[in-house]
Each structure stands twice: as C-alpha cells, then as structure tokens.
Structure 1
Amino acid sequence: MADKPDIVLAVQKTDVLNPEGFKIEKTKTEIKVTASDNAGLMYGTLELAEQIKLYGLEGVKPLVRNPYLEMRGPKFNIPLDVRTPSYSDVCDAAQYNMPHMWDFSFWKDYIDTMARYRYNYISLWSLHPFPSLVKVPGYEDIALDDVQRSTTNWQEYYNLLGIGFDAPEILDNVEVLKSITIDEKIEFWKKVMAYGKSRNVDFHFITWNIFDYGTQGKYGITDEIDNEITKDYFRKSIKQLFVTYPDLAGIGLATGENMHGANAEEKENWAYDTYALGILEAAKEMPERQFKFIHRQHQSGAQEIAEKFKAVVAAENVEFMFCFKYAKAHVYSATQQPYHEHANYLQQIEGMKTLWGLRNDDTFYFRWGAPDFTREFINNLPHNDVAKGIYFGSDQWIWGRDFLTKNPETPNQLEVQKHWYQWMLWGRLSYDPTLSNERFRDILGSHFPEVDANSLFSAWQNASMVYPLTTGFHWGSLDFQWYIEGCKSRPSQAANETGFHDVNRFISLGVHPKSGNQSIPDYVKMVSDGKSTALRTPLQVSDELMNVSSSALDVLKKFKEPTNKELQFTLNDIKTVSFLGKYYAHKIEGATYLALFRDSNKKEYQELAVKALEKALDFWKRYVHQAKQQNHNPLWTNRVGIVDWKQITEWVKQDIEIAKNER
C-alpha cells in the first residue's frame, strides 16, 4: 500500500490569496493548504477535510478560493430580557429562547456551526440592549442584574414598530430566569465574543431607535429626540460597549421606528450626536483597534447620511458601511429584487460599501434546500465594488433552539442544525457561488447514506421551490403582510377579520415585480381582450406548483421507511411542503377561475373554481395532517399573530362557499 501523503498547513502571504482565501496543492507526497491568514487556513482545512470525507485522499482536488462576499452573517433578533426586548420578543420563539441566550453552550455550538458554514460575523439586533450589557459611566443605576421574562397573559397582536413592550401588565408580571449580576453578564459576553473571534466570527450589535427600554425613566431619560440627557446616555453607551468588550467588532443602527414626527435631517442629527460621536470617541481612545459602523438606509437618503457622517467615513480606524433591506421580508420570492432600483440606491451610495439584508420570514417549520435558487440569487446581488456582504435572518423568528418538533431526536437542537442544509447553502454559496450541485449531492449522500443522494437532492429542491413560486405570485412584501406556512397576515393586510388570505385576497393581491408572473386581474383582462402575454400566467404558476410538488412526492414513494430519525423528519418536511404546494396550486387555479366567472358570468368558470377549491381543501387537510405528525401547533408569531392550522382549515372551507355562492 502506497504511503499516505503528508498534510501541511501554512499561513503565508501570496498574491493570489485575499483575506480568508486559501489554496490546496497536491503532489504524490504532500497535500498542502496555504492561506494568507488563520481564517483562510480554517476554511481551507474544512474544505480539505470535507473532500477527504467524501472522496478519500486520492480524490482531493487542487483549488484556489477567495471569498465572494466579504461579510457573511445571520440577522439574529436577540431576546435578552423582558426589560431590554428585541423587535421579535412578543412571540413564542422569543419567549422560549430567552434563557438560551444566557447559556454559553448555546453560543459555542452556534458559533461552531456558523464557522463551518463559512459565516464570519453575527449581528445581534435589539431595540435597546445596553442595560443588559454595560455599566455606563454616570448612568450606573440603569445596568440590570438578573434575566427576567414576563408571565403576562400575552395579547395576540402588538405594535409593529416595537412600541409598547414595556406596558405595565408585561413588566409587572415577571419571573427570574437566571440570577446573575451585571458584572457576570459582562464576563459572559466577553467569553462569547472571544470564542467567536477564535472561530473567525465577529459580533455586531444593531439597534432600532429611539427606544429607552430598561432605563425606567431614570436620570430623566426618555425616547424624545430632543432630550439632551438621552443623547448623552446613548453616546456614552456606545463608547462603553467598545470599552467593555475588546472583541466587539462593530455597532449598527436604524433610524425611524420610534422617531415619530422627526424629519430625515432631525433623525440623522440625532444618530450622529449619539452613535457616531460615541464610536468616534472610542476610536480615538483606541487607535490600534479597528471598528465597523453600520448605518441601515431606512427612512433616510443615503447621500444625506454619507454627508452627515463624513467624520466617521474619514476616520482611519472606523469602517463605515450602509445596510439595505434588499429582499424586504421574503428572500424566497424571486432571484432578482427591485427595491434598490426603486430607491436609486447604488447611485445614492456612490460606490460606498453596503450589506444586503436577506430576510427569510417564510421557513420556520420546514426544512428548505434549493441550491439552484440560492446560487442564482447570490449571483444576482449587485456586487461590483459596493457589496460588502449579506445578513440572512428573520424578524418573525428567533433562530435559537428548536421548540416545535414533537419527540425530537435531539431535544433543544439548534435551529441552524435542524435547518442545516438551508443555512449551509446560504453560507457556503456566499463564500463560493461556484460550489457545484455535485458537491451538495455528495454532502447529502454522506449525511443520509440510507437513500439515493440524487433522488433526495431532486425531491428537496423541488419541494423547496414551493416557497418562491407561491410568494413570487402572491406578493405581500413585508413580514406582517404574508406568511406562507399559515396562509396568513395581519387582518388589515388580508382585508378581513381573521388575517387568512382567502380566495378573494388571492385575486386582489399583486405579484412580485421581478417574478415574471402575471396577476389574476391582468390575466382576466387579457382573456377578455383576446390577447396574449410573455409573462407566466396564473394557471401556469398553478401548473408549475403542481409539477414541483408531484415530482417531489414521486421520489418519496421510492424510499423505504427510514430508521434514521433525522432523515424521517426531513422526508416528512419534503412531503408536507409538497402538499402545501398542491394546496396553493389549486387555490391559485380556483381564484383564477372565480375571477374569470365574475368577469364573464360563464357558469363553467364557476364550476371549475369550486372544483379547484375543493381540491385545495383536500390538500390543505393533508398538509396539516402531515405537519402535525411531528410539529407542535398553534404557534404565536409576532408579525401575523396566532397560526392555528386547525382553525385555518375552517377558513379554507369558506373559500368553497365563496365560489359556490357567487352570483
């Protein structure tokens, strides 16, 4: 047997490698991984280990890789404490995950998982985190001991801007989840950030403004924009955050959520007097340290922001970047997005760097995995010299620990491990969008050796396309306007009292502007006028949903009942989502025929509508039955309220009556 080659790891500067890049070279006697820094060496070693696992030593292939996107991280709305809430705290996911935020084993596993998937930063989003994190000079009495959670009888709906989370009934009914001093909290987060740094995962805190949660009116602090005490407190809090945490990489902010009545100039003046001056003071006192400053372009103009913050832009040890909500709330809608174009954003930022926000307020229950969609989406991002990177995450979900799975294989499993394929796809392809489907098939084959990898790959990708096919057609751009796994929104967005998107809403709601779809009203007019279109008609969308769902289900029929519990859960999710896809296929079909009947008064259209909606009900029932085999429900969400599949079934039935009773 031939001698095995030596494996050599080396950090050395080279012209072909950027930061975090690596090179694998192979001879008969040696396999060498070279990188220009430790991060690149870690990624190169992970790549080599994966190749050896999948293909053996003899199958290792030489390659050179540099990161496509420089920053790759999750958006994590962090539920620290009832007194310092995040935007997402009023929901089951946050209430369940609050204690886990103060468990180092959670963060260790989370950071390790993120690093393996090639993410290199974590953004923690909060309305006002400082009382739970720092002791601010001159405002020491604000710092909070212990971790508290409310035991109130929660309402279904709360303010969509994060206002009112300190109502008396919330703060007057609490339990102590963890007895801990503020000094112990500081040591905890120092440890978390240091561990992240050891895995090339930086931490950033990003806030909405102006919120004064946790201050309890002490020192005269309020959320008024012209309160000079508040400005002083915020400025000192920003500086103290960096003084306290030597491994904290950056701070970010959004203006506007609680700045009612202020114009754009007033908002940015406040942001400069607080956040900008705070980080500039920290940067001046720590000239050897590098800082990042992230300004979300939200309810303000990018050029005006850049002009106001030019001192931050010019600071040698502060990197200024913008942040833009690229996909609104539904990354799973279309592989191209229009919102930066509508805002003339690239021209506004004039070549400055930006983080593209990729919001996923869709896949909370079920495992998703469509490499082709992910790769195309990433390749379509405006890159050039402006893309600093992405953040991927949710406002309606906390990607902490799983609490929905019945009889889980691993109790309290990390969500990013339960949804490992989805998170791996966005991380790995953001680092290297040339990574092939062959590699992902091989990874699936290694992960689930009991089934044919090609078949599993195909079924999973087809079922996953139910999300963008449906949401690209039925387009509620914001999280409270549409949640696909419950066919629901806030009541105001559904134009009814329940929030359920009935057949009437499927007629009236428009399509994603980059989806290539035609809306139902436009289709009806086209038919009436005897014209044609190059767009995908509603009935063609219905057919495509049927095709991807049927294709996935046909593959599943070939598989034997698995003994591997994770594989069992995965196949169940694919089957469940396929039933959901058939529900939406028939619903779109029924809505289309009902609209045609209303326009033409042709009885055959009404009959077709009723028939399609009866089929939709059948597949909704199959969806619910399949989903509830392994998932808890109802689920209370912060953006669309309670999602109760049993109750929704009654609303689905009403669609048939709407069509039958149409005159």
Structure 2
Amino acid sequence: MRFSYLPLLVLVVLIQACSDRPAVSTEETSPQVAFAIAEIEAALIGIDSVSPITLRVQVAGGNLAREGYRIQSAADGITVTGGAAAGAMYGGMELAELIRIGADLTALDVHQAKPFMKRRGVKFNIPLDVRTPSYTDASDAGQENMAHVWDMEFWTEYLDNLARHRYNYVSLWSLHPFPSLVKVPEYPDVALDNVQRSTAEWQENYSLQARGMDDSTLLANPEIIKEITIDEKIDFWRTVMRYGKERNIDFHLITWNIFDYGTAGKYGITDAIDNETTRDYFRKSVTQCFLTYPDLAGIGLTTGENMPGQTTEAKEDWAYDTYARGVLDAAAQFPGRKITFIHRQHQTGALAIADKFKALVDHPDVDFLFCFKYAKAHVMSATKQHYHPKFVKEIAGMKTLWGLRNDSNYHFRWGAPDFVREFLQNIPREVSEGIYYGSDQWVQGRDFLTKEPALSGRLEIDKNWYHWLLWGRMSFDPGVSNERLTAIIQARFPQTNASQLFDAWQQASMVFPTVTGFHWGHVDYRWYPEAVKSRPGPANNETGFHDVNRFISLKTHPLAGNQSVPEFVAQGAQPGRRSPPEVAARLRSYADGALINLANLNPDNNTELRATLTDIRSMAALAYYFASKIEGSNSVALFRAKGAISDQRAAVTSLEQATEDWREYVGLTASQYRNPLWTNRVGYVDWEVLTGWVGEDVEIARSAEFGVDPAGAD
C-alpha cells in the first residue's frame, strides 16, 4: 500500500503575551500530530512570552525522511515540517521539549533531523496467561504484571511514553501466544476465554529452555484475573495496536519454538517436530494473526529452543512450513499489505535461513529481517561487542535487527549517556535495520518493588524515564548532547542542580558496564550483577553467589580492555590493558565522583528526586563493593601463587571492607525496595541471604593456602 503526503497545515499555536493559557487553534489533523499538539499545549501551560509567537506544525514531504522533520524560525513564527505525520509528531515533540527546557524560541535557527536507526523498538516478554506463558512468567515481574497487560490504561500510558522517547515498534515475546490472541477456524477449541494466573506454589527455577511451564500443578490451580471472551480479547488487542499506530508504533509478535502451550493436546497438537497436525495448526495460526489484526506489522520466530537434537536443516524446514507459509498465505489474501518477517539467528545458521526462506526474501510485500543478540544478555558490558563479525559477513546485502538485552539492572534508575552514545555508534551500520531493547528477566510493566506508596505502581518506563529516554532518543539521534540532557533533567527536577545530578547519575551508572566488562558472565543466568549471582552451575558452587574464587576464575569481556586476575598474577600489569587493581580504582573513582556531586543536592519535598538520589547512592555503594571485592580476589590469587603473607593480609582487609560496602548497599536498597525478589533466570534474590554469602569471602581469604588454587580458570 502506497501513501502520498500532500502539504497540509495541521497546527497553529499562538502564544499570547501575558495570557494564563495560550490560545490554540487546530485544523484537520492526523492522530500522530494531534498527539504533538497535546504535548505542545502541555509544555505551554503557565508560560508567558514577551511577545506573540506563532508556531506551526505541518506535513510537507519533500526531501524529508518519513520520520524526519525540520524546525525553522522566521519573522512570522516557527514552523515544524515533517516528511510525514510521524516526522511532524517527532518535530512537534522536539518543539515541546524546547519549550519545557526554556529555550529561546525567538532565537531558533534551522534544525533538521532524521532517524539514525530506522527501527527503534522494545522487547516485551508478555505474560498473557498461565496457559500461554512467556519466558518471564516464572518470576515476580511476570506474575505481578499479568493483569496490567490486559488493561488499556496501561497501554495508552506506555505507548505515549515510547513515542516521546522516539521508539517506533513493540515486539511482544511469547512461547506460544496464539490461543490467547486468535481464533483459528480449523481449530476452534484452542482459543482461550478469560485470563488465568496460577495460584500454585512455583518452583524457584525452571528450564532455561522454557520447557515444563505446563506443569500440571500450575494449570490445575488457576484464578481468573479477568473475565473476557476470545472475541473481547481480539477487540482489546486491535485497540492496542491501533493506538500504537496513532503514535507511530508498530507491533510485532515474536515466538520461541516449538511450544504447544495452551492447546492442551487438542486435535492431536504436540510439540513434536514431525507432527503434521502441529505444522498445519501453526501455519493457520500465523495467517490468522494477520487476518485478525489489520494493524499487526509483523511476526518473528526463534527456532531451536524446544527442538532438541534437531539439525539446522530440520529446524528451518519446520519454520518454513509453519511461519513462512503462514505469512505467504496472508500475503496472498492481502496483496499490497506490507508484512515484516523476523527470523532470529539464535541456535541456527544465517546462510541456511537465507537459503530456505528465499521466497519470503524475494517477496515484494514482505520485509525479511534477521535478528541477532548483539551483546548476549548484557549491553552494559563494553561499547564494542564481538559476536557479530561472522554474522555480518554471512548476511551481506540483507538487514538485521540487533537485540540489545539489559539483564543487568532492574532495581535502580540508570543513566550513562556517554556509554549509550558510544555503544550505539559502534553498531555495524551496513547491515543494520535497527535495534530492540529489553530483558528476558524483567517485564517493563508497572513497578511492584518500590515501597513508597506515592511511587509504587507507576509504569516502569516512567520510573526509569531517563534510562529509556537514552536508548530511544539516541537510537533516533546519537547527537543528543549532554547539555540537552542536563536541561531535560533540570526541567524534571527544577529544585536541584541538574549539572551535578547529571554527573552523579552517569558516574554511578557505570558500575554495571565496568564490573561486567571485567567479570564477564555473558548471558542472564550466568551473571546478574545487582545480586552478584547466577544459577549455581555458572557460579561453580551450590548457591549461585559469585564468590572470591569465581571472581578469580571468570574471564573478562574480550573487548572491554581489562586483564583477568590469572593473567595479572602470571604476567603482571600489561600495557594497554587495565589490571584488576586499575579496574577497582576506576570503580572507586566513579563512586567517589557520584557522591561528591550528590553531597549538596537536596530533594526537598520531591519524592521522585529523593528516590533517584537514593538509587544513585545505591549504585555508588555497589561500585565500592565491587572495587573492594576485585582487590581482595586479586590479593587472594597472588597469595596462592606466590605465598606472600602481605597479600593474604591485604585480601582479608579488602574483603572486610567489601562486607561493609555491601551492608551500605543493602541498607540503601532495602530502604526503597521490597525483599526478596523472585527472578526467572537466577531464582531468589534475598538481600539478607546474600549478605551471609558476602561475609564468607573473608573466610575464603583467611583460609587460602599457598600453592592451592581451587578456582581454576575458564
């Protein structure tokens, strides 16, 4: 379907001198520009200009990209021009922000912008129902947010925030969503009424491949948290997707395979790869998604999660027979409708995918994209990553979405713009279609951790507004300056010194990439730095806590520029690489800088600012802890290798300090957030239990023996 955009005046705003509220007159508008109007109106409330200024927003096309815009000042006023309604919306929001931060509108010159990345999305593991789970359902985040994802008020607020941050698509990730979303005529009994959540006692940990989440105990103990028919569900999601369109936000469904959750074995459907009924059911379900949802932009899949022992060829044969044929069937019924098809490279091969899916790659109405997990589970590790070079060569001439996973921090309000800017600019542009940002261990729904009643229940994207702003805005324009960001912070917290808050925020937030660049547990279940924890296996112990021995043995990120403890013990400091003591010093410097900047900042009666300052102090305390822990671990390794008693004494001293730093960290964290927290990848996070394990590091140092190294290296 082709669209042409004719010149159209869509908004005139007159700021009247000495008025209580600016007079606003609007002509015919698109929903996107209507949203921009509302943003400008909100920014203008209570503002009086020294002289009348006319503001215009218009759609004009021309040489502007669809999402591009131009802001131009002239004698007769300020004009915002968008290449399409989306560009006019973004230009209008830019103008609203300039008003909020107090920019001199009369001094504006010409400013033109276009997206740095075409697609800027979010990864949303969606807890639809106990019968149709996502990976994240086995966690507090999943259970607490199941009701919210069926609430239109949540989606309107969430999508508005995404638009403000310049995101333009949402990917909903589920193991098998179809029974909760569509009615397949050939399989009518599969469609599910109502929304159910299990009241059974969940296990702490489930399969890392998401198998077994149809446990009979879970399914036999449901509670209905929303009475709703499948037809009403369809109406609900049509409304959500339509609202997304009105904010220039597309929806994609992404699945893992082969899961038959929610079908209850009806019609002989199973998760067997050679089951022809299953293949037919999946194919028709995919087609039905596009028949049911006119605003659904695309669908994507992962092969391999539940295809044990299968070859790449067998996986892709199944994927083509189900998802590809389903999309081709839909495309045949809707010629001209553009469909995005996303195939993750995970657990399969790019060349095999490109060959098998050639019919989709060549189809004029299908936009075929790869998807690649760019930094595994930790974008907060290093600004340069190393997994993709072979993949980039294999897909030359094609495009990919880069999956950016934050499975590092869920509690604290994070914000390190210099890191984000550099990270995004290092992504390979030649094959890049864009990014999606999110987690496999968290649901960005509503905040359920915060104790403060005035803040509890807010959207996570509102609580973590700065975090989400950075990744969205810089994906659109990495040139967003620190000066602009400081002004945005100042407008949010007018009673504080925004420059000091900006610096404190950035320095404290660097604890996560700094420590994970040194202690590289590359996937979520191998390392969760907020809790110093993983599953037991990757920790080489029964608890999952990463003790001194694990801090000695675990490798560093290949491109973070750090030297591991064993390398330092064997070689001494090496030019061009940060030794463990230097990593510790860097962490301590970040924490010192953050606290110095916070020293005279007073939140007064601003509850959100008080919570933000406490989060920054918490991250600084965590940085001190990791600094002392790295120093102590390094000294333990030196003593074991060389036998100097001074190294053992230094280890004990450092690890005793680490224990004190940890207690400060836990005290700050517990003052704001509930405890314990159940996560789906590393189990329970209990600050009291963790504190006991932290103390055991001191005993490891005291009992260390010369010539005995139980840690090993990997």
With the shorter chain as reference, the TM-score category is over 0.9
Aligned to 1:617: 659
Which string of whole-angstrom CA distances, capped at 9 and with x for unpartnered residues, describes residues 521-555 of structure 1? 0000013xxx7332110100000000000111111
Aligned to 2:186: 138
Residue identity in the other structure for 1:351: G
CA distance in structure 2 between the aligned counterparts of 1:490 and 1:514, rounded to whole angstroms: 25
Aligned to 1:334: 382
CA distance in structure 2 between the aligned counterparts of 1:283 and 1:147, rounded to whole angstroms: 31
Aligned to 2:615: 573
Which string of whole-angstrom CA distances, capped at 9 and with x for unpartnered residues, describes residues 465-519 of structure 1? 0110011101100000000110000000100010000000000001001100000
On the 8 A contact 2:382/2:560 being kept in 1, the answer is: yes
CA distance in structure 1 between the aligned counterparts of 2:442 and 2:305, rounded to whole angstroms: 19
CA distance in structure 1 between the aligned counterparts of 2:484 and 2:372, rounded to whole angstroms: 31
Residue identity in the other structure for 2:59: V
Tell me the secondary structure at the aligned position of residue 86 of structure 2. helix
On the 8 A contact 1:52/1:59 being kept in 2, the answer is: no
Which string of whole-angstrom CA distances, capped at 9 and with x for unpartnered residues, describes residues 229-286 of structure 1? 0000000000000000000000000100000121000000100000000001101110
Aligned to 1:559: 601
Aligned to 1:129: 177
Q: How does 1:133-532 map to 2 (within 5 A)?
A: 133-341=181-389, 344-384=390-430, 386-527=431-572, 532=574
Aligned to 1:49: 96
Q: How does 1:587-598 map to 2 (within 5 A)?
A: 587-598=629-640
Does the C-alpha gap of structure 1 residues 82 and 59 become closer, same or farther in structure 2, counting only changes over 3 Å?
A: farther
Residue identity in the other structure for 2:394: Q
Aligned to 1:544: 586
CA distance in structure 1 between the aligned counterparts of 2:61 and 2:52, rounded to whole angstroms: 28
CA distance in structure 2 between the aligned counterparts of 1:600 and 1:414, rounded to whole angstroms: 53
Does the C-alpha gap of structure 1 residues 423 and 61 become closer, same or farther in structure 2, counting only changes over 3 Å?
A: farther
Tell me the secondary structure at the aligned position of residue 401 of structure 2. strand
Aligned: 1:22 with 2:22:
no
Tell me the secondary structure at the aligned position of residue 323 of structure 1. strand
Tell me the secondary structure at the aligned position of residue 549 of structure 2. helix
Residue identity in the other structure for 1:646: E
Tell me the secondary structure at the aligned position of residue 188 of structure 1. helix
Aligned to 1:636: 678
On the 8 A contact 2:298/2:340 being kept in 1, the answer is: yes
On the 8 A contact 1:48/1:60 being kept in 2, the answer is: no
On the 8 A contact 2:73/2:106 being kept in 1, the answer is: no
Residue identity in the other structure for 2:136: S
CA distance in structure 2 between the aligned counterparts of 1:652 and 1:439, rounded to whole angstroms: 41
Residue identity in the other structure for 2:228: I
Return the match for 2:83 from 36, 49, 56.
36
Residue identity in the other structure for 2:515: T
Tell me the secondary structure at the aligned position of residue 339 of structure 1. coil
On the 8 A contact 1:160/1:639 being kept in 2, the answer is: yes
Aligned to 2:36: none
Q: CA deviation at 1:351?
A: 2.0
On the 8 A contact 2:449/2:456 being kept in 1, the answer is: no
On the 8 A contact 1:441/1:454 being kept in 2, the answer is: yes
Q: How does 1:6-21 map to 2 (within 5 A)?
A: 6-15=54-63, 17-21=64-68
Tell me the secondary structure at the aligned position of residue 88 of structure 1. helix
CA distance in structure 1 between the aligned counterparts of 2:167 and 2:356, rounded to whole angstroms: 31
Alignment RMSD, CA only? 1.0
Tell me the secondary structure at the aligned position of residue 83 of structure 1. coil
Q: CA deviation at 1:561?
A: 4.7
CA distance in structure 1 between the aligned counterparts of 2:328 and 2:355, rounded to whole angstroms: 16
CA distance in structure 2 between the aligned counterparts of 1:354 and 1:205, rounded to whole angstroms: 16
On the 8 A contact 1:5/1:28 being kept in 2, the answer is: no
Which string of whole-angstrom CA distances, capped at 9 and with x for unpartnered residues, describes residues 16-56 of structure 1? x1120001111122211111110000000000111122114
Which string of whole-angstrom CA distances, capped at 9 and with x for unpartnered residues, describes residues 350-409 of structure 1? 22010000000012000000110000000000112x110000000000010000000232
CA distance in structure 2 between the aligned counterparts of 1:207 and 1:86, rounded to whole angstroms: 9
CA distance in structure 1 between the aligned counterparts of 2:107 and 2:451, rounded to whole angstroms: 40
Q: CA deviation at 1:316?
A: 0.8
Residue identity in the other structure for 2:197: R
On the 8 A contact 1:52/1:60 being kept in 2, the answer is: no
CA distance in structure 1 between the aligned counterparts of 2:586 and 2:108, rounded to whole angstroms: 39
Does the C-alpha gap of structure 1 residues 611 and 350 become closer, same or farther in structure 2, counting only changes over 3 Å?
A: same
CA distance in structure 2 between the aligned counterparts of 1:615 and 1:28, rounded to whole angstroms: 64
Return the match for 1:96 from 144, 165, 170.
144
CA distance in structure 2 between the aligned counterparts of 1:116 and 1:662, rounded to whole angstroms: 54
On the 8 A contact 1:4/1:29 being kept in 2, the answer is: no
Residue identity in the other structure for 2:701: A
Which string of whole-angstrom CA distances, capped at 9 and with x for unpartnered residues, describes residues 41-73 of structure 1? 000000011112211423534211000000001
Tell me the secondary structure at the aligned position of residue 224 of structure 1. coil
TM-score (norm 1): 0.98
Residue identity in the other structure for 1:41: A
On the 8 A contact 1:134/1:143 being kept in 2, the answer is: yes
CA distance in structure 2 between the aligned counterparts of 1:347 and 1:188, rounded to whole angstroms: 42
CA distance in structure 2 between the aligned counterparts of 1:293 and 1:574, rounded to whole angstroms: 40
Any gaps of 5 or more consecutive residues in structure 1? none
On the 8 A contact 2:137/2:680 being kept in 1, the answer is: yes
Tell me the secondary structure at the aligned position of residue 164 of structure 1. coil
CA distance in structure 2 between the aligned counterparts of 1:241 and 1:301, rounded to whole angstroms: 27
Displacement over 4 Å in runs of 4+:
none
| Percent identity between the two aligned chains | 56
Aligned to 1:627: 669
On the 8 A contact 1:474/1:510 being kept in 2, the answer is: yes
CA distance in structure 1 between the aligned counterparts of 2:646 and 2:442, rounded to whole angstroms: 43
Residue identity in the other structure for 2:667: H
TM-score (norm 2): 0.91
Tell me the secondary structure at the aligned position of residue 7 of structure 1. strand
Residue identity in the other structure for 1:4: P
Q: CA deviation at 1:166?
A: 0.4
CA distance in structure 2 between the aligned counterparts of 1:234 and 1:28, rounded to whole angstroms: 60
Tell me the secondary structure at the aligned position of residue 409 of structure 1. coil
CA distance in structure 1 between the aligned counterparts of 2:81 and 2:328, rounded to whole angstroms: 37
Q: CA deviation at 1:304?
A: 1.3
Which string of whole-angstrom CA distances, capped at 9 and with x for unpartnered residues, describes residues 90-147 of structure 1? 0000000000010000000000000000000000000000000000021010000000
CA distance in structure 2 between the aligned counterparts of 1:59 and 1:654, rounded to whole angstroms: 62
Tell me the secondary structure at the aligned position of residue 388 of structure 2. helix
On the 8 A contact 2:255/2:301 being kept in 1, the answer is: yes
Aligned to 1:76: 124
CA distance in structure 2 between the aligned counterparts of 1:659 and 1:347, rounded to whole angstroms: 47
Any gaps of 5 or more consecutive residues in structure 2? 1-16, 18-49, 706-714
